[in-house]
Amino acid sequence: MDGTNKLLASALSAWQFDWLNLPQLASRHGEDVDGLLLGLHNVMLLLFVGWIIYLFFVLWRFRAKRNPQANPVGVKTFIFVLLIGFVVVEEAVTLFGAGIPLWNNFVTVYPDEKQATVVRVTAQQFTWNARYPGKDGKFGAQHHTLISAKNPLGYIPSDEAGKDDVVPPLKDIRVPLEPIDADGDGKQDVDLLGRPQFKPVIIYLTSMDVIHSFKVLPLRITQDAIPGMIIPIHFMPTRLGKYPITCAQLCGNGHATMIGWLTIMDNSPQRAADGTIITPGAFDRWQASHVAGNAPQGGFE
Amino acid sequence: MTASHELGFVRKYIFSVDHKVIGIQYLLTSLTFLLIGLTLMLMMRWQIANPGQPVPVVGGLLESALGEPAGEGKISADLYNSFGAMHGTIMIFLGVVPLVFGAFGNYLVPLQVGAGDMAFPKMNMLSYWLYVPGGLIMLVSFFVPGGAAQAGWTSYPPLATIIPTDGQTYWLVAMLFIITSSLLGSINIITTVIQLRVPGLTWMRLPFFVWTEFVTAFLLLLAFPPLEAGCILQLMDRLAGTSFFMPHGLVVSGQPATGLSGGGSPLLWQHLFWFLGHPEVYVLVLAPMGIVTEVIANNTRKPIWGYRYLVGSVLAIGFLSMVVWAHHMFVTGMGAGIATFFQTTTTIISIPSVVIMTCLMLSLWGGSIRFTVPMLFALAFLSAFGIGGLTGLPMALPMSDVALHDSYYIIGHFHYLVAPGTIFAVFAGIYYWFPKATGRHMNQKLGHVHFWGSLVCMNLIFFPMLIQGLAGMERRMSDGGYNYSAAHPSNEGVVGALSGTVMQLNGVIGWAVLALGAFQLPFIYNFFSSAFAGRRVESDNPWQATTLEWQTPTPPPHGNFVQEMFVYREPYAYSLSHSTQPLTSTRKSNGSNGKILDFETQNQPVAMANGNPAKQEAPV
Amino acid sequence: MKIPYTSEIREDTGLYNAKIGMWLFLASEVMLFGGLFSAYVFLRIGAREGEWPHGLLNIPIGAFNTLVLITSSLTVALSWTTLKAGDFQRYRRLQIVTLVCAALFLGIKSWEYYDKFSHYEIWLNKPLTAKEYPQLAGHSTEADLPITSVVGHIEGVGPFETLASLQEAGMSTVKIHPDAFHYRLTALQQAERRKVEKATGVRAVHAETDEHANVSIDVSHIARMSAFVPKHGTFFATYFTLTGLHALHVVGGALAFAFILWPGARMWRDDPKRYTNSVECVGLFWHFVDLVWIFLFPILYLL
Ligand code: HEA
Ligand code: HEA
Ligand code: CUA
Ligand SMILES: [Cu+2]
């Protein structure tokens, strides 16, 4: 009994052995992505190995020298049905068990903006502009007639909401790793699977000129940035670190150089004994140091 | 006696209406384009392996030919993008499609259905002579100011439209030629199969290759026009300043694009393109499946297992491939509903492919397998298609595609299908039908060198790409991903930058491509030398095959068949008289119509001269 | 080398080669225009509120052209039946009518085109108000909302001019004669206006007075200016592309008919069956082209 449990456990861990060498994972939904990838590749490996073994056996067993006279009556049909049945079942399970539900959940269930870090990312040949709404949680207004080399995003300088917007340097996007404690029990919340919860991030993605693609492999997200469309994506960061932003869509001769960096920062403030904040968290300090004020923002390098 | 003898050289070999001559014209032209595509890739891989280094040997040539983009013999980013786009375009639209459809389809379909020629010979000639200018326009575009198209073979606007080169316009015009050419070709093939089958050659007696060409023709006929529409619209955008694909408020290099009306949609192009794009990829692989089937049946000396399943599957693929296109657009921000639809159809369409592969695999069982050169290539196709196809599955689900999209994993995926897949199948076909077309055998030894060399190199090239892709290396990177590598100074401390080993694979691939090129030389030599000095065939049917094309004199004269024919059984009736099983199981297992045939040898022809006793037992 | 079933039919399929060929070709044509039509739908659905212009095309003319094409289809069908009956002369007369119809259609179309080319829309970066331009009072809407664009003929300006070309010509102001109810309001205002019009049932702008309301606009106030050419906007882009492609098909069909009618007529003596077939095939094509127009007319002119 116990032995079989051990067997099952080891079989399971063997199944979960990560041989794909995917980059470091740093987001919650990424766990599903990796699970899906790994599971699929395990099955693919099984199929292919079985396939190759069969191939070589047949080639040896039925080579003309050894088998001078072919037998036209082929394999029994049920073997075929078995194989196809296996593939069909396997694909149905991955599709309806994982593929569809996971994706639908990912693109339909959005975190509440108020409880999330909101960033507006605008791609342009060949760099990334980020903008944060600042204290008031509102982005400054834009108008495309204002667009110029100085003000490539056409923000209206006089707009009140824009005054406190945070505009970091190009290609430098940062989000905080903040434990959330909605129920206020002083402990970090966990989801049903007991996984600790962090403040989710929503990114509104668009492009000024051509199609780019915002791919952060460690976060397991890829989303095209399409001119004329503003597309939201969301994720829950789970790990500190500085990760590369890849432009995953050919966008011209600078495409290869259009790297950016997304940094997941710690944001735990330094508190006095009575709990008052002495120094705010690193992320807040960083934001404070990049308040746009009224200057026209962004611009080319 | 046959017309061709009175014709002069030009009418006979240049503007010929004979499907065999046209087929060979197509073959030589498209193979040359394959070679060009390979050459482009050689230079690209050099650039990837050593970014910023001048290309050895041809560097100077490049500079003098292409000027500034190739300054100092180096491949600039612009030039790299041109080469990438043209490699894809040339390989697919000017290389493989004309090869598997124009060359093999033209040469073999009429022969295999027992017809004297295509249904519309003049149109057939026209289709070739539309393909040639199309190809030339493509090539010329390298030399226009700014160079050839640079927006990938997918030519996504707005990039394709705002890019400052006329190359893109040439690309679009050339595409219109190529599309028209293959429309004419497909009309011809379909009509020929429907109308010109010899008596007794019922649908279920067609060789599988004919079926694949038939479905391919329908794909080209119905999937190409939407791209044609797309090309027309993009031409309007480029030439007439319209905004079909240009949204509002577009900013071109820092300045708002005044003068553009805006109001268009970049996604519209993607839909039009991929509506062709996906059927197109099956165009690349169906006919090769047919070739492989013929070769396997012949070299296992037994009927194909589950012929009916094969036919059913290829038809299913034909229909389904029209409703999966958006799996190339999963990351354009696709809602739940649409994504559900397309990942489902994409997963479903993989089933018929699995069925075909499995049938071919099972066909090997119980055979008497001859390891001829064509057979070797056919077997390599089977395993390559396995890898290529299976790697399609993780991309079919958007949830896992987000990790793979636009990475070298995709490049690996489809090259396993088109290079060691399609290209190998084509080689198999060339070695297999060469004796029929020329009356001479190709050299076996050179063939083996060609095969083993290519096999090793192909895997050294494309398997590492899967690894690189999973590690996060992106495609279309003119510097081979150097900017994303841990080695790049700006990336220290960055988690998930490309590791040294992943980058080193670039070197491996580079050399492997060079070697691959080298291993094509024996083939090219073999091809031409054997055509004139190869070992003569001892009979009209040197492989003891059972399909109709082997019933003709060698090489087939204008008009193909000398005796009148009547077909009285299914295509792959090898060794049937030795069946140890009762009829019924024969019917089940090899999908034949169950008639045990009344002859002994393994090489009985499929058709008998008229008045043969066999005629009486023919179903009418 | 003789190809079977060029003129006689194959009994198990019941068709001769060329007919299958033509049907297949038409299938691909369906996909081609299908692609373009779906592009039209795609763009129109995506268009901003009030961006898609209405009523810029001449409906009576379009309707008349539709009639012309239908007539030609009729004569084609008749000519084929008479030819089957063996009456070559009558067939020839009918086909000449067909060709005349084709010519008429193309003539009218090109006149329509030309009329568009010399028509202009001017987008203003400084909206016109009834205060500065009293002659506009009551034209834009009852509420005299400011006008962001004006459509009409420009005095002394021929087809194909652009803002740049006018500035080169040294024009400082352009005098435009606005068309009936084609002041373009901001998207929101247009929506408003349509509501009002729906409610009251009266058009907010009064055509008869518009003719007199000619406005001279300072060039510096012009944000963008374009004749009714493809680049004017997605509507005209679609209009010219679709109708242009269709016109090309008309030309092609007419040429084919003409060829069969005169140079190709020899075949009537050698192989009448095949000759009749060729008429039938081109006829199929002609009916298809006609059908395309039957779709084009409503979606471009009426909707
Ligand atoms: C010949 C060409 C070809 C073929 C046949 C296929 C076949 C398939 N392709 Fe591929 N594909 C391409 C050529 C091809 N593809 C190209 C060129 C691109 C990139 C275009 C670009 O962006 O430039 C692409 C991209 C591409 C994408 C887009 C990825 C992205 O951009 O993010 C996707 C996603 O779904 C996909 C999926 C599939 C699937 C599911 C199949 C399935 O049909 C595969 C079915 C086959 C199998 C399932 C394996 C065969 C079966 C076996 C080996 C048997 C195994 C053993 C047993 C069953 C016993 N392909
Ligand atoms: C049918 C399609 C096809 C084929 C066969 C190939 C073949 C090859 N491809 Fe290509 N490839 C594409 C279609 C194809 N490719 C497409 C669509 C893209 C995407 C482009 C884009 O990004 O837009 C691409 C991109 C692509 C890339 C990625 C570039 C990038 O993203 O930056 C790479 C990288 O290595 C590559 C490599 C190769 C290699 C090494 C081969 C080799 O396998 C070459 C094999 C060729 C031969 C072996 C030649 C055989 C011919 C002969 C021997 C001639 C004989 C002549 C006579 C007898 C006269 N290809
Ligand atoms: Cu931006 Cu590629
Ligand atoms: Cu696809």
Q: What is the pLDDT of residues A144-201, one digit of tens each?
A: 667 776 777 778 877 778 888 888 899 999 999 999 888 878 888 888 888 999 999 9
Among protein residues, the one whose CA lies closest to atom 49 of ligand 1:
B389
Domain-embedded: residue B191: no
Which of the residue ranges B111-125, B454-468, C169-183 would you say has the lowest mean pLDDT?
C169-183
Interchain proximity B229–C36, CB inside 8 Å: yes
Asked if B89 and B138 count as a contact pair (C-beta separation under 8 A), the reply is yes
Q: CB distance from C15 to chain B under 8 Å?
A: yes
Measure CB to CB from residue B236 to each of C17, C34, C241 and give the nearest one: C241
Kindly state the DSSP code that residue A95 receives in the 8-state scheme: I
Chain B residues touching C31 at Cβ < 8 A = 221-226
Asked if C145 and C189 count as a contact pair (C-beta separation under 8 A), the reply is yes
In the block, tokens 């699995």 appear at B354
Would the pLDDT of C141 be above 60?
no
Does residue A201 have its Cβ closer than 6 Å to ligand 3? Answer: no
Among protein residues, the one whose CA lies closest to atom 42 of ligand 1:
B350
Per-residue model confidence (pLDDT) at position B616:
32
Domain-embedded: residue B145: no
Q: Note the pLDDT tens digit of each residue in C178-227.
A: 765 455 554 455 566 566 666 655 554 443 444 556 778 888 888 888 88
Per-residue model confidence (pLDDT) at position C200:
59
Would the pLDDT of B422 be above 70?
yes
Q: Which ligand is nearest to the CA of B457?
A: 2
What band does A1 get if pLDDT is binned at 50, 70 and 90?
low
Q: How far is B611 from chain C (nearest CA, A)?
A: 21
Q: CB distance from B275 to chain C under 8 Å?
A: yes
Q: How far apart are CA B48 and CA B414, in angstroms?
A: 19
Would the pLDDT of B32 be above 70?
yes
What are phi and psi for residue C218, nearest 5 degrees?
A: -70, 130
Would the pLDDT of B582 be above 90?
no
Does residue B475 have its Cβ closer than 6 Å to ligand 1? Answer: no
What band does B97 get if pLDDT is binned at 50, 70 and 90?
very high
Would the pLDDT of A225 be above 80?
yes
What band does B577 get if pLDDT is binned at 50, 70 and 90?
low
DSSP lists the bridge partners of residue B53 as: none
Q: How far apart are CA C108 and CA C128, in angstroms?
A: 36
Per-residue model confidence (pLDDT) at position A293:
65
Least Cα distance to A196 among A233, A235, A237 occurs for A237
Q: How far apart are CA B115 and CA B567, in angstroms?
A: 12
What band does C119 get if pLDDT is binned at 50, 70 and 90?
confident
C49: exposed, middle or buried (C-beta count within 10 Å: 0-12, 13-18, 19+)? exposed
Q: How far apart are CA B290 and CA B360, in angstroms?
A: 11
Would the pLDDT of B538 be above 50?
yes
Per-residue model confidence (pLDDT) at position C203:
52
Q: Which domain holds residue B585?
A: 537-620
Would the pLDDT of B592 be above 90?
no
Least Cα distance to B386 among A36, A61, A53 occurs for A53
Name the residue in chain B with its Cα closest to that of A89: B351
Measure CB to CB from residue B559 to each of C1, C10, C34 and give the nearest one: C1
Q: Which of B480-484, C99-103, C274-278 has the highest mean pLDDT?
A: C99-103
Asked if C18 and C278 count as a contact pair (C-beta separation under 8 A), the reply is yes
Domain-embedded: residue B356: no
What band does B539 get if pLDDT is binned at 50, 70 and 90?
confident
Q: Note the pLDDT tens digit of each residue in B204-231.
A: 999 999 999 999 999 999 999 999 999 9
Domain-embedded: residue B478: no
- What is the count of structural domains for chain B? 1
Would the pLDDT of B91 be above 60?
yes
Cβ neighbours for B480, distance < 8 A, ≥ 6 positions apart: B47, B48, B49, B51, B503, B506
Q: Note the pLDDT tens digit of each residue in A230-243.
A: 999 999 999 999 99
Cβ neighbours for A194, distance < 8 A, ≥ 6 positions apart: none
- B partners (3+ CB pairs within 8 A) are A, C
In the block, tokens 């952060």 appear at A216
Ligand 2 center–CA C138 separation, angstroms: 66
Name the residue in chain B with its Cα closest to that of A57: B365
**CA dihedral (B471, B476, B482, B483) positive or negative:** negative
Per-residue model confidence (pLDDT) at position C55:
74
The whole-number average pLDDT for the span B98-125 is 94
- C partners (3+ CB pairs within 8 A) are B
Distances (CA, A) of C237 to A84, B160, B233, B270, C56: 50, 19, 9, 19, 13
The whole-number average pLDDT for the span B563-576 is 80
Residues 159-198 of B with CB under 8 A from C: 183, 186-188, 190-191, 194-196
Per-residue model confidence (pLDDT) at position C68:
96
Q: What percent of chain B has pLDDT over 70?
A: 92
The whole-number average pLDDT for the span B46-65 is 88
Q: Note the pLDDT tens digit of each residue in B239-258.
A: 998 999 999 888 887 777 77
Among protein residues, the one whose CA lies closest to atom 17 of ligand 2:
B88
Per-residue model confidence (pLDDT) at position A248:
95
Report which residue type is found at B80: Y
Domain-embedded: residue B480: no
Domain-embedded: residue B602: yes
Q: How many CA atoms lie within 13 A of C231 on its CB side?
A: 17
The secondary structure of B280-330 as a DSSP string is HHHHHHHHHHHHHHHHHHHHHTSPPTTHHHHHHHHHHHHHHGGG-GGGG-G
What are phi and psi for residue C150, nearest 5 degrees?
A: -125, 140
Measure CB to CB from residue C39 to each of B116, B223, B233 and give the nearest one: B233
Would the pLDDT of A89 be above 70?
yes
Least Cα distance to C238 among B23, B232, B369 occurs for B232
Per-residue model confidence (pLDDT) at position B1:
39
Kindly state the DSSP code that residue B557 receives in the 8-state scheme: P
Among protein residues, the one whose CA lies closest to atom 35 of ligand 1:
B396
Least Cα distance to C284 among C117, C123, C80, C41 occurs for C80
Chain B residues touching C36 at Cβ < 8 A = 229, 232-233
Chain B residues touching A210 at Cβ < 8 A = 156, 158-159, 162
Ligand 4 center–CA B395 separation, angstroms: 10
Per-residue model confidence (pLDDT) at position A189:
87
Would the pLDDT of B389 be above 90?
yes
Name the residue in chain A with its Cα closest to that of B476: A250
Domain-embedded: residue B612: yes
Cβ neighbours for A276, distance < 8 A, ≥ 6 positions apart: none
Measure CB to CB from residue B256 to each of A144, A215, A244 and give the nearest one: A144
Asked if C62 and B256 count as a contact pair (C-beta separation under 8 A), the reply is no
Would the pLDDT of B6 be above 80?
no
Would the pLDDT of B521 be above 90?
yes
Chain C residues touching B223 at Cβ < 8 A = 31
- Which domains are present in chain C? 17-116+234-302 (1.20.120.80), 120-227 (no CATH)
Ligand 3 center–CA B86 separation, angstroms: 19
Interface test with B, best of C9, C19, C25, C32 (most B CBs within 10 A): C32
Among protein residues, the one whose CA lies closest to atom 11 of ligand 1:
B414
Per-residue model confidence (pLDDT) at position A13:
83
- The more confidently predicted of residues C282 and C218 is C282
The whole-number average pLDDT for the span C25-53 is 90
The whole-number average pLDDT for the span A214-240 is 94
Per-residue model confidence (pLDDT) at position A272:
85
Cβ neighbours for B63, distance < 8 A, ≥ 6 positions apart: B70, B71, B72, B73
Chain B residues touching A170 at Cβ < 8 A = none
Would the pLDDT of A129 be above 50?
yes
Per-residue model confidence (pLDDT) at position B615:
34
Per-residue model confidence (pLDDT) at position C196:
60
Chain B residues touching C232 at Cβ < 8 A = 261
Does residue A258 have its Cβ closer than 6 Å to ligand 3? Answer: yes
Per-residue model confidence (pLDDT) at position A292:
74
**CA dihedral (C73, C78, C84, C89) positive or negative:** negative
Which of the residue ranges A286-300, B188-202, B334-348 would you say has the lowest mean pLDDT?
A286-300
Q: How far is B259 from chain C (nearest CA, A)?
A: 7
What are phi and psi for residue C163, nearest 5 degrees?
A: -55, -45
Least Cα distance to B304 among B598, B583, B576 occurs for B576
Q: Note the pLDDT tens digit of each residue in B526-537.
A: 999 999 999 999
What band does B137 get if pLDDT is binned at 50, 70 and 90?
very high
Report the nearest atom of ligand 3 relative to the CA of A247.
2
Q: How many CA atoms lie within 13 A of C302 on its CB side?
A: 11
Does residue A126 have its Cβ closer than 6 Å to ligand 3? Answer: yes
Domain-embedded: residue B593: yes
Chain B residues touching C43 at Cβ < 8 A = 244, 263-265, 268
pTM for this one? 0.92
Chain B residues touching C42 at Cβ < 8 A = 265, 268, 271
Q: How many CB pairs under 8 A join A and B?
A: 335
Ligand 2 center–CA B419 separation, angstroms: 7
Per-residue model confidence (pLDDT) at position A299:
38
Q: How far is B117 from chain C (nearest CA, A)?
A: 7
Residues 216-245 of C with CB under 8 A from B: 223-224, 226, 229-234, 237, 240-241, 245
Asked if B548 and B109 count as a contact pair (C-beta separation under 8 A), the reply is no
Which of the residue ranges A237-246, B236-245, C128-137 would you say has the lowest mean pLDDT?
C128-137
Q: How far apart are CA B453 and CA C84, in angstroms?
A: 64
Would the pLDDT of C234 be above 80?
yes
Q: How far is A254 from chain B (nearest CA, A)?
A: 7
What band does B578 get if pLDDT is binned at 50, 70 and 90?
very low
3 state SS of C173: strand
Annotate B97-111 with b (16+ C-beta within 10 A) or e (fewer).
bbbbbbbbbbbbbbb
